[in-house]
Chains A and B, each alone.
Chain A
Amino acid sequence: MNIQTVRNLRRTSQVVFFLIFLWLILKTTFEVDLTPAEISEIRLPYPVSIALELDPLAALMTLLAGGTLYKGLLWSLAILIPTIFLGRFFCGWVCPLGSLNHWISGIRSERAWRKGKRLLESNRYKKYQRIKYYVLFFCLGAALLGSLQAGLLDPLPLLARSIGTAFLPALHTAALALAASAADTGIGPVAAAGQGIYDLLAATLLPYRQAHFHGVVFIGLLFVTILLLNRVFTRFWCRGICPLGALLGVFSRFAILGLEKDEEACDSCNKCLLACQGADNPDVGSRWRQAECHLCLNCQAACPEGSLKFKFFPNQPDTKTNPAGTPKVDVTRRKVLASLAGGLGAVLLFRSGDAHEVNRSPFVVRPPGSLPEDDFLGRCIRCGQCMRVCPNNALHPTLLESGLEGLWTPYLIAKIGYCEPTCTLCGQVCPTGAIGELTLTQKVGDEETQPDRIGTAFLDRGRCLPWAMATPCIVCEEWCPTSPKAIYLMDETAVDRLGNEVAVKRPHVDPALCTGCGACEYACPVWDRKAIYITSVGESRSETNQILLERQRA
């Protein structure tokens, strides 16, 4: 097989894996294509988080922070073990964010620094590329104390989160706006074209209804920044920041596949450097860096003299004019220790502050089946799959609600959507087990089993219509899904401002029955700040965040 064929294979592989990744995200949604009516439980037809389970960084970090390798994360060995022999093939052939960076870097630029000699120079190994190792060891340090921070910058969760909570919802808004403004023109064909474009997008990319996520602008900004940096340095993110790339770089220490440079044939044209993705010094005369190479094979394909060849057990003589390649990672022990210490220190700061334990926000209501908060923060990689799959748009990425430590972890905003009583989808798609997989019985309970509770509802009597305004309203009771209902009504007499007695039914919450699903808060007609709301107290996952002795025992 000649090198052009192999390179085309690599290009095909990038496109295929990118499309699979995108397709899996698109399928992380509840579609009504199942028919049986009496089914006990709604399940997704595809293993939509399989791409995230292939992630060795998520596997390692959850293993360190959580102590076990959850379910499908064993698949990550399918990436990690070949990397030990081959090097960072994942970055050049598989990683969907890497491919996106690759393609955006490849768009022709009119700027001088993206051309000729300056581009060539920018593709030589640079010291900034060490940053990714510092990021990796920082995350490792945090994981040692049980806090999983790698998910913020791990490319697979990052891309899933960015596409799922930022890009697709923004596209949805754009498509709706386009259809609406086309319809507003009042010109038949224009309106039809606008609607046609919307229908096409809706059929291919968009979920059943527009999703709105909390504070998502920062997720979008990070994503756009990563993409735009490619216009300054080729694959800047992959070279300089990506902690997964760093991990794979470390694991390529004993790779048997490497670059063999034939000094005799080389005429120093430097075409290899112009095409290099990883900035790993493919040119004769520089020391090739195994840990930086993405195995894109561009250098070998670009070489007109055939002096560069990727080979198993490459012959790499070490001479002054043609130094051998190095498998070593360019970081000193001192810097590794400092990064680890930084990660440890950050967690110590997070956890000595008040947000983690003594002053936890009552409004951080975690998805049903979530682990206790400490274990949860040791497992959640912030991929946003739970948020995307939630049929009610109830789960959202936190900003600072659960402290900086919990940035972009999921929480429930009942005002936007409540936890659908019979739904267990978020636990089904969670790749790391931060949200445990519940059976329907575990979720709703039966005679023997207590239902899973995520919080408890409280009334704001100063805003509730029958309590504060002598006006009838029973909507919270109507929506309460437990049987018997946790919200009950009492016939009471209110007095209006004229002194007239008005018979009203006033709602009360029975905390022994309430599961905290938030349907009452969602449905409450006091729209802007609800007169009934849920907080996390009473959540099944916590032994301490409880009110009732009786309910805790049950």
Chain B
Amino acid sequence: MDRRDFLKKTGPAVALAAVTGGTGLAFHNRETALHRSLFVKTADFEVPPDPWLPVLTLATNTDPVAALNAALDAIGGIGRFVHTGERVVLKPNVGWDRTPAQGANTHPALVSEMVRLCLAAGAARVIVADVSCNDPRRSFLRSGIKEAGETAGASVMLPAPEDFVDVDLGGSVLTRWPVLKHFVQADRLINMPIVKQHSLTRCTIGMKNLYGILGGRRNRLHQEIDQSIVDLAAFVRPTLTVVDATRVMFRGGPQGGSLDNLSIENTVMCSTDLVAADARAVEFLGLSGRQVGHIALAARSGLGSLDYRAAGYKETV
């Protein structure tokens, strides 16, 4: 065998050995865990404060649409919050497979009116989304919110498992968590909670409603519920919070089911201060904000005012 022959015969084997060894070296890693990339963005959707306007307005009317418009006008009108070309996401409570009359989800008439107002104010796109507890298809259907949102011209987005992005929420309990992508990809977020009793947090209103942007096994958060709600409220700063207190679930929350659990209040509130909104709304449950752990903690953390009257409160009819 001459040299040329030897090289010819061993060449392919050597080349394959080199590729094999090179692959091993290239992928060699002493770390045991892989680092996944994080989606990082503060979710601040707020508009600048206006010292001449109240931070919380309340209107009472048997027609929920009229109540919404009265409360919204008193806080500056839709034009203050939504501008031409913006993408707006609405976050009603669509947690449960319950009918509008059962009062476990936000009133569909408020959702459709809000969609209409946003589009009239020039919004490029309005999305209605929530991460339901019950099957989202049933919840969005039976709550009337799918129909309300779509007839008014919004895209109603049911959460699919692949629609979540990992987000660093930067809280003390809430750190890295999957968030429904629509809630971090918008320009404006309008929080549309409903007022309900809740056996652990005593109430679920504006701040607790933000749980609905989270995916994953969020039930685990109940262990430090107050801090996790406050973490979330510190991360997500909604443009506007519209509180549905047309009917209030004073027991059997948050799902209810029986009409005996409801009191009819015919009230809608609008607020740029989540803490103030919750502090006022919780009075429908016979409580004050000070008595509710997460509302008091949020106020102490500087997220808003417990004393909503001092912060600027206006009732209209």
Q: In chain A, what residue has the closest Cβ to B151?
A: A35
B223 surroundings in chain A (CB, below 8 A): 465, 471-473, 525
A391 surroundings in chain B (CB, below 8 A): 135, 137-138
CB distance from A477 to the nearest CB of B (A): 6
Q: Is A489 within 8 A of B199, CB to CB? A: yes
Q: With A and B bound together, what is the CA distance between A489 and B219 in angstroms?
A: 17
Contact of A474 among B200, B217, B261 (CB under 8 A): B200
CB distance from B128 to the nearest CB of A (A): 13
CB distance from B53 to the nearest CB of A (A): 34
B137 surroundings in chain A (CB, below 8 A): 30-32, 208, 391
Given A37-B99, A523-B219, A477 and B158 contact (CB-CB distance below 8 Å): no
At the interface with chain B, which of A230-238, A478-486, A538-546? A478-486
B147 surroundings in chain A (CB, below 8 A): 35-37
Q: Is B100 within 8 A of A38, CB to CB? A: yes
B301 at interface by CB-CB < 8 Å: no
Q: In chain B, what residue has the closest Cβ to A481?
A: B255
A474 surroundings in chain B (CB, below 8 A): 199-200, 222
Q: Is A42 within 8 A of B141, CB to CB? A: yes
A523 surroundings in chain B (CB, below 8 A): 133, 219
B217 surroundings in chain A (CB, below 8 A): 525, 527
A30 surroundings in chain B (CB, below 8 A): 135, 137-138
Q: With A and B bound together, what is the CA distance between A54 and B144 in angstroms?
A: 37
Q: Is A176 within 8 A of B162, CB to CB? A: yes
A525 surroundings in chain B (CB, below 8 A): 217, 219-220, 222-223
Q: With A and B bound together, what is the CA distance between A483 and B252 in angstroms?
A: 7
Q: With A and B bound together, what is the CA distance between A481 and B148 in angstroms?
A: 25
CB distance from B152 to the nearest CB of A (A): 13
Q: In chain B, what residue has the closest Cβ to A180?
A: B162
A524 at interface by CB-CB < 8 Å: yes
Q: Is A423 within 8 A of B138, CB to CB? A: yes
Q: Is B135 within 8 A of A483, CB to CB? A: no
Q: Is A422 within 8 A of B97, CB to CB? A: yes
B83 at interface by CB-CB < 8 Å: no
CB distance from A383 to the nearest CB of B (A): 22
Q: In chain B, what residue has the closest Cβ to A179?
A: B162
Q: Is B161 within 8 A of A421, CB to CB? A: no
Per-residue 0/1 for B128-153: is the Cβ within 8 Å of any A Cβ (1 yes, 0 no)?
A: 00000111011011111011100000
Q: Among the interface residues A31, A210, A483, A527, which one has the most CB atoms of the partner chain B within 10 A? A: A483
Count how many pairs of residues, one from A and one from B, have CB atoms less than 8 Å apart in the complex.
100
B26 at interface by CB-CB < 8 Å: no
B252 surroundings in chain A (CB, below 8 A): 483-485
Q: Is B198 within 8 A of A478, CB to CB? A: yes
A485 surroundings in chain B (CB, below 8 A): 252
Q: With A and B bound together, what is the CA distance between A306 and B263 in angstroms?
A: 85
B146 surroundings in chain A (CB, below 8 A): 32, 35
Contact of B222 among A34, A38, A475, A481 (CB under 8 A): A475
CB distance from A192 to the nearest CB of B (A): 15
A209 at interface by CB-CB < 8 Å: yes
B40 at interface by CB-CB < 8 Å: no
Q: Is B144 within 8 A of A37, CB to CB? A: yes
Give the total of A residues in contact with B, Cβ under 8 Å: 42
Q: Is B200 within 8 A of A472, CB to CB? A: yes
Q: With A and B bound together, what is the CA distance between A423 and B220 in angstroms?
A: 27
Q: Is A209 within 8 A of B161, CB to CB? A: yes
A208 surroundings in chain B (CB, below 8 A): 137, 158, 160
Q: In chain A, what residue has the closest Cβ to B251?
A: A484
Q: Is A472 within 8 A of B99, CB to CB? A: no
Q: With A and B bound together, what is the CA distance between A471 and B140 in angstroms?
A: 33
B219 surroundings in chain A (CB, below 8 A): 475, 523-525
B289 surroundings in chain A (CB, below 8 A): none
CB distance from A206 to the nearest CB of B (A): 10
Q: With A and B bound together, what is the CA distance between A391 and B143 in angstroms?
A: 17
B256 at interface by CB-CB < 8 Å: yes
Per-residue 0/1 for A510-554: is the Cβ within 8 Å of any B Cβ (1 yes, 0 no)?
A: 000000000000011101000000000000000000000000000
Q: With A and B bound together, what is the CA distance between A483 and B147 in angstroms?
A: 27
Q: Which of B239-286 contact A (CB under 8 A)?
A: 252, 254-258, 261
A420 at interface by CB-CB < 8 Å: yes
A471 surroundings in chain B (CB, below 8 A): 223
Per-residue 0/1 for A462-503: is the Cβ within 8 Å of any B Cβ (1 yes, 0 no)?
A: 000100000111110111111111000100000000000000
B54 surroundings in chain A (CB, below 8 A): none
A441 surroundings in chain B (CB, below 8 A): none
Q: In chain B, what residue has the closest Cβ to A392?
A: B135
Q: With A and B bound together, what is the CA distance between A38 and B105 in angstroms?
A: 13
A88 at interface by CB-CB < 8 Å: no
Q: In chain A, what residue has the closest Cβ to B140?
A: A32
CB distance from B38 to the nearest CB of A (A): 16
Q: Is A481 within 8 A of B198, CB to CB? A: no
Q: In chain B, what residue has the closest Cβ to A507?
A: B199
B101 at interface by CB-CB < 8 Å: yes
CB distance from B57 to the nearest CB of A (A): 28
B225 at interface by CB-CB < 8 Å: yes
CB distance from B156 to the nearest CB of A (A): 9
CB distance from A409 to the nearest CB of B (A): 23
CB distance from A179 to the nearest CB of B (A): 8
A27 at interface by CB-CB < 8 Å: no
B304 at interface by CB-CB < 8 Å: no
CB distance from B130 to the nearest CB of A (A): 14
Per-residue 0/1 for A206-220: is the Cβ within 8 Å of any B Cβ (1 yes, 0 no)?
A: 001110000000000
B212 at interface by CB-CB < 8 Å: no
Q: Is B138 within 8 A of A37, CB to CB? A: no
Q: In chain B, what residue has the closest Cβ to A421?
A: B97
Per-residue 0/1 for A400-425: is the Cβ within 8 Å of any B Cβ (1 yes, 0 no)?
A: 00000000000000000000111100
A505 at interface by CB-CB < 8 Å: yes
Q: In chain A, what residue has the closest Cβ to B100?
A: A37
Q: Is A32 within 8 A of B141, CB to CB? A: yes
CB distance from B284 to the nearest CB of A (A): 19
Contact of B141 among A34, A209, A421, A480 (CB under 8 A): A34
Per-residue 0/1 for B49-65: is the Cβ within 8 Å of any A Cβ (1 yes, 0 no)?
A: 00000000000000000
A505 surroundings in chain B (CB, below 8 A): 199-200
Per-residue 0/1 for A22-45: is the Cβ within 8 Å of any B Cβ (1 yes, 0 no)?
A: 000000001110111111001000
Q: Is B222 within 8 A of A210, CB to CB? A: no
Q: Among the interface residues B133, B222, B252, B261, which one has the most CB atoms of the partner chain A within 10 A? A: B222
Q: Is A42 within 8 A of B199, CB to CB? A: no
B178 at interface by CB-CB < 8 Å: no
B108 at interface by CB-CB < 8 Å: yes
Q: Which of A195-214 contact B (CB under 8 A)?
A: 208-210
CB distance from A492 to the nearest CB of B (A): 14
Q: Which of A131-177 contact B (CB under 8 A)?
A: 176
Q: In chain B, what residue has the closest Cβ to A465?
A: B223
B254 surroundings in chain A (CB, below 8 A): 478
Given A37-B99, A37-B100, A525-B219, A482 and B257 contact (CB-CB distance below 8 Å): yes
Q: In chain A, what residue has the closest Cβ to B201?
A: A474
Q: With A and B bound together, what is the CA distance between A398 and B148 in angstroms?
A: 41
- Pick 15 A–B contacts, CB within 8 A, sort by A: A30-B137, A35-B141, A36-B147, A38-B99, A42-B138, A179-B162, A208-B137, A209-B161, A210-B161, A420-B134, A423-B135, A475-B219, A478-B255, A483-B261, A527-B220
Beyond A37-B148, A474-B199, A475-B219: 5 further Cβ-contacts under 8 Å? A30-B137, A38-B99, A422-B142, A484-B258, A523-B219
Q: Which 9 interchain pairs have the tightest Cβ spacing? A: A37-B144, A483-B257, A483-B258, A525-B219, A474-B200, A525-B220, A391-B135, A475-B219, A32-B137
